[in-house]
């Protein structure tokens, strides 16, 4: 019942809104994001980093858990299960074989020719299994799961080559966004964004979606972004709520009660984000 990102992103590009990728960490996180998507009648992408997959017991556990939840929660909106920042062909293949409907192959640290040829190999396998592929050109800054990169803007011609030669379904073109907190206001390259979007016609992906002001999100969507990744903001609201629970209730010891407020905050945050991205009522 999981679907690839292809259809949802093409519709989003056409309709000028963005589908959120929300990164998940555990059972409750997955329940929260699915609950919010169903309530908002929004398509949704569950992002799973390699670290998060490992934490949850592997890609097989994540795929089985997600599929079972979709069934028991009666989820009717389109859901993609996506490997976030996949680091190798083998890891992407493993995720697809486990049931993931989409992968990102992040070869952005390699020279462009290598990036394209390695991405192409992943695309060939993924497409043969009905899964979608996202590639990255240029480098998104900041740290995610211990992987740190400095910002470097994507080159428009390299982006075009990636889309044409590797036939990817979505393109993460680095344009100044960073993972984690921003120091001051984000400085996104909107002119470069417009150029890359018009040249490639591909659904663009904005990594580092946490902490970007609403007007910049709107502008990014207007300029071809149809997928926006959000991780840090969810982690922050979850942790604040759990910390508050522990600080205000020194009798609590039931783990389900300790983390329940965290889950509620994720549901709220995801709903609000879907409204901001314009994906509500688009399922």
**Residue matched to tokens 């043969």:** 128
The yes or no reply on residue 225 touching ligand G3H (CB under 6 A) is no
DSSP assignment of 116-159 equals HHHHHHHHHHHHHTT-EEEEEESB-EEEETTEEE--BPPPHHHH
Considering only the stretches 114-122, 128-136, 201-209, 217-225, report the one whose residues sit in contact with ligand G3H under the rule CB under 6 A: 201-209
Which positions ≥6 away from 188 have C-beta within 8 Å?
175, 176, 177, 212, 216, 219, 220
Catalytic residue flag (residue 191): no
Please report, as ranges, the residues that interact with Zn ion according to CB under 5 A.
Answer: 207
- The item of ligand G3H, Zn ion, none sharing an interface with residue 232, based on CB under 5 to 8 Å by kind, is ligand G3H
Cα separations (Å) of 125 from 57, 90, 139, 142, 264?
A: 24, 11, 25, 30, 38
Instruction: Between 91 and 231, name the residue whose CB sits nearer to ligand G3H.
Output: 231
CA distance 114 to 120: 10
- The item of Zn ion, ligand G3H, none sharing an interface with residue 42, based on CB under 5 to 8 Å by kind, is none
The yes or no reply on residue 229 touching ligand G3H (CB under 6 A) is yes
Residue 12 CB, nearest distance to Zn ion (Å)? 18
The sign of the CA dihedral 157, 161, 164, 167 is negative
DSSP assignment of 65-95 equals HHHHHHHHTT--S-EEEEEEEE-SHHHHHHH
x/- string (CB under 6 A) for ligand G3H, residues 94-133? ----------------------------------------
Cα separations (Å) of 89 from 121, 123, 148?
A: 7, 10, 21
The yes or no reply on residue 50 touching ligand G3H (CB under 6 A) is no
- The item of ligand G3H, Zn ion, none sharing an interface with residue 176, based on CB under 5 to 8 Å by kind, is none
Task: Please pick, from the candidates 132, 210, 273, 280, the single residue that binds ligand G3H as defined by CB under 6 A.
Answer: 210
The yes or no reply on residue 203 touching ligand G3H (CB under 6 A) is no
Considering only the stretches 8-16, 67-75, 207-215, 244-252, report the one whose residues sit in contact with ligand G3H under the rule CB under 6 A: 207-215
In this structure, are residues 84 and 48 in contact, taking their beta carbons and an 8 Å threshold? Answer: yes
Cα separations (Å) of 140 from 46, 82, 163?
A: 20, 18, 18
Considering only the stretches 53-61, 69-77, 191-199, 226-234, report the one whose residues sit in contact with ligand G3H under the rule CB under 6 A: 226-234
- The item of ligand G3H, Zn ion, none sharing an interface with residue 230, based on CB under 5 to 8 Å by kind, is ligand G3H
Tokens of 23: 């990164």
Over the Cα atoms of the chain, what is R_g?
18
- Name which of residues 162 to 181 contact ligand G3H (CB under 6 A): 179-180
Number of residues that bind ligand G3H (CB under 6 A): 15
Residues in the site for ligand G3H, rule: CB under 6 A? 23, 47, 84-85, 179-180, 207-210, 229-233
Q: Which residues have a catalytic role annotated?
A: 84
């Amino acid at each position: 019942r999981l679907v690839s990102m292809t259809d949802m992103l093409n519709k989003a590009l056409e309709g000028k809104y963005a589908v959120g990728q929300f990164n998940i960490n555990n059972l409750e996180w997955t329940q929260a994001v699915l609950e919010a998507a169903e309530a908002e009648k929004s398509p949704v992408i569950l992002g799973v980093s390699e670290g998060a997959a490992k934490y949850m017991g592997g890609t097989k556990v994540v795929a089985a858990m997600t599929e079972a939840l979709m069934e028991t929660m009666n989820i009717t909106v389109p859901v993609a299960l996506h490997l976030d920042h996949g680091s190798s062909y083998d890891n992407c293949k493993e995720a697809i074989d486990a049931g993931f409907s989409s992968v990102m192959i992040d070869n952005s640290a390699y020279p462009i020719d290598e990036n394209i040829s390695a991405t192409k190999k992943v695309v060939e396998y993924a497409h043969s299994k009905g899964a979608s592929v996202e590639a990255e050109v240029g480098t998104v800054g900041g740290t995610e799961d211990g992987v740190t990169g400095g910002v470097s803007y994507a080159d428009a011609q390299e982006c075009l080559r990636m889309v044409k030669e590797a036939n990817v379904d979505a393109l993460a073109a680095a344009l100044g966004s960073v993972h984690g907190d921003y120091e001051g206001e984000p400085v996104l390259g909107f002119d470069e964004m417009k150029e890359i979007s018009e040249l490639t016609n591909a659904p663009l992906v904005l990594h580092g979606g946490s902490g970007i002001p609403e007007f910049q999100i709107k502008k990014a969507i207007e300029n071809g972004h149809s997928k926006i990744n959000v991780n840090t903001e969810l982690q922050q609201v979850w942790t604040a709520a759990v910390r508050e629970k522990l600080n205000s209730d020194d009798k609590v010891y039931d783990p389900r009660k300790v983390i329940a407020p965290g889950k509620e905050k994720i549901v709220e945050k995801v709903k609000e984000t879907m409204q901001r991205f314009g994906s509500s009522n688009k399922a």
